[in-house]
Amino acid sequence: MERENSTVVAEFILLGLTRSREIQLLVFVLVSIFYLIILPGNFLIIFTIRSDPGLSAPLYFFLGNLAFLDASYSFIVAPRMLVDFLSEKKVISYRGCITQLFFLHFLGGGEGLLLVVMAFDRYIAICRPLHYSTVMSPRACYVLLLSLWFGGFLHSIIQVALILRLPFCGPNQLDNFFCDVPQVIKLACTDTFVVELLMVFNSGLMTLLCFLGLLASYAVILCRVRGSSSEGKSKAISTCTTHIIVIFLMFGPGIFIYTRPFRAFPADKVVSLFHTVIFPLLNPVIYTLRNQEVKASMRKLFNQHIS
């Protein structure tokens, strides 16, 4: 009885993204190129915002933190996945799996809350401009930043605590290229119905509510902007449109993965690839390409270094 309640599985075997060697090599090359091009771009965004005193507004403060979160998030899955593509046997220890799962949801949950904070920032800036400097003071920005980090930690530690209580006594084959909640739960040698419901509530419902709340907030902002005749109307619409694009990129795959019962679908691995590797690197770049101030600051820094 004691053995049944203990974790006897010391490692998990990852079945990977695909069993086709040719497809694995193709994905390895594409992800490597993408990774080496886009990842430095995220650090460039952080460096630019930190270096230019003109980019001290809360919007850029949060944009820099988004780039940092996304860059950190991209280190959780991608490097190991690239190494595993070249390995015959893909193995991750039990502790390594739990660690990967913790940081995946810690940074992912923090990023979701950061997008909520950025929506709040835009709402105050556009709908309550006279109160903006008071509400979004530097102190308030740091309090919001600490709150989202704490929220991400709380979200993740709940996931980990529920999984640590589950017994794993075999099999130990994980049908994915990284450790995530749905696949790990299915390997537990006990009834996981209640745990699955708790996981859906913690991850799925939170993701869905954040997504719907963000869409509603930006709908209110866009309606407010379209009805005005201010000079910053086009800039506000462009900023909100950019935020909405990132919201769909961030929450769309999360809703697909976490808001349904934990059953395997053929598209799961492809969605997970974009969710954990591709989109986190693209999000800050999308912001930058549609932000004239950041692009102008980058050009100025580039000209200073070559002159």
What tokens does 261 get? 């019962």
**What value, to the nearest 5°, has the Cα angle with vertex 117 and ends 115 and 239?**
65
Domain of 23: which CATH number?
Answer: 1.20.1070.10
In a domain, 186, yes or no: yes
Contact 246, 283 (CB under 8 A): yes
Q: Are 253 and 272 in contact (CB under 8 A)?
A: yes
| Residue 257 placed within a domain | yes
**How does 148-165 read in b/e, with b if 16+ C-beta sit within 10 Å?**
bbebbbebbebbbebbee
Flag whether 283 is in a domain. yes
In a domain, 6, yes or no: no
Torsion-angle region of residue 65: left (phi > 0), alpha (psi -120 to 50) or beta? alpha
What tokens were used for 127?
Answer: 């709908």
Angstrom distance (rounded) from CA 166 to CA 7: 8
Rounded to 5 degrees, what angle do the CA atoms 180, 265, 151 make? 35
Rounded to 5 degrees, φ, ψ at 94 are -60, -45
Q: Structurally, how many domains does the chain consist of?
A: 1
pLDDT of 198: 86
Which structural domain range is residue 40 located in?
A: 11-299
CA-CA-CA-CA torsion sign (225, 226, 228, 233): positive
Is there a domain that residue 307 lies in? no
The distance from CA 238 to its chain's CA centroid, rounded to whole angstroms, is: 22
Q: Are 106 and 153 in contact (CB under 8 A)?
A: yes
Is residue 207 one of the residues assigned to a domain? yes
Please tell me the predicted confidence (pLDDT) of residue 37: 76
Is 98 a member of any domain? Answer: yes
137: left (phi over 0), alpha (psi -120 to 50) or beta: beta
pLDDT at 270: 86
Q: How many helices (H) and strands (E) does the chain have?
A: 12, 3
The single-letter DSSP state of residue 165 is T
**Residues in CB range of 52: below 8 A, 6 or more apart:** 297, 300, 301
Contact by Cβ (8 Å): 275, 76: no
Whether 305 is in a domain gets the answer no
Q: Would you write out the chain's pLDDT as a tens digit for each of its 307 residues?
A: 344 445 578 899 998 888 888 888 888 898 888 888 778 888 888 888 888 888 888 988 998 998 899 889 888 988 888 888 888 888 999 999 999 999 999 999 999 899 899 889 988 988 888 889 999 999 999 999 999 999 999 999 999 998 998 999 878 888 888 998 888 998 998 888 888 888 888 888 888 888 998 898 888 888 887 766 665 667 777 777 877 888 888 888 888 888 876 677 778 888 888 888 887 777 767 777 667 788 788 788 777 766 6
DSSP assignment letter at 8: -
Beta strand 91-93 with 11-14 is antiparallel
CB 196 within 8 A of CB 159: no
Q: What is the pLDDT at residue 226?
A: 75
